[in-house]
Amino acid sequence: MSSQPKLHVLFNRQEIEATVSRLAAEISQDYHDRHPLLIGVLKGSFMLMADLIRHLDFPLEVDFIGLSSYGKDRQTSGKVKVVHELSTPIKGREVLVIDDIVDTGLTVSFLLDYLRKKKPASLKLCALTDKPSRRRVPVTIDYLGFTVPNKFIVGYGLDWDEKFRNLPDICFLEGED
């Protein structure tokens, strides 16, 4: 087993909290009277979802979808799979996807196409982080938390080989660009 990589804080928990509050204010303004369905992309979005919806003081529903393309690797395989299905019909619903990171864009682009075929009334994307330097397909992020440099980031739901999701800060791994 390889040794643990060194971590550096990129955004601390106070910065994350301020950003989640700001995202919640933007989302509240647009969705307060629309009874939206928030769909979290597993696993990485679970922490953002939990914190975000505590700021949303209006009727909404929550569901999750499990997608995987990275597996145990740090490079995307490019092939996205649904590994955990939605439990809510989305036809005619106001759908807001909640994701932790848009990197190459392949995962969320697959997801938005997949959801669009189910004919929601509207479909938008909230992403905690965006790494535009790695984009392979164009993605419109309607509600964005942070733009991040081309470094491997972990924490606040994001993993490295399934580790570090529990960190309260967003960190990057030294030497793992």
Dihedral, CA atoms, 12, 155, 22, 85, nearest 10 degrees? Answer: -170
Question: Quick one: which segment of 6-14, 66-74, 85-93, 167-175 binds ligand PRP (CB under 6 A)?
Answer: 66-74
Per-residue mark of binding to ligand PRP, 20-59 (x: CB under 6 A): ---------------------xxxx---------------
Q: CB of 69: closest distance to ligand PRP in angstroms?
A: 5
- Sheet holding 153-154: strands in order across? 7-11, 170-173, 153-154
159 binds ligand PRP (CB under 6 A): yes
CB of 11 to ligand PRP, least distance (A): 16
Question: In whole angstroms, how close is the CB of 44 to ligand PRP at the nearest point?
Answer: 3
Nearest to ligand PRP of 32, 63 (CB atom): 63
Active site residues: 103
- Which parts of 87-146 interact with ligand PRP (CB under 6 A)? 99-108
Using CB under 6 A, count the residues that bind ligand PRP. Answer: 19
The whole-angstrom separation of Cα 173 and Cα 10 is 10
What does the buried/exposed string (b/e) look like for 99-125 if buried means 16 or more CB atoms within 10 Å of the residue's CB? bbbbbbbbbbbbbbeebeeeebeebbb
| Cα–Cα distance for residue pair 15/21, rounded to 1 Å | 10
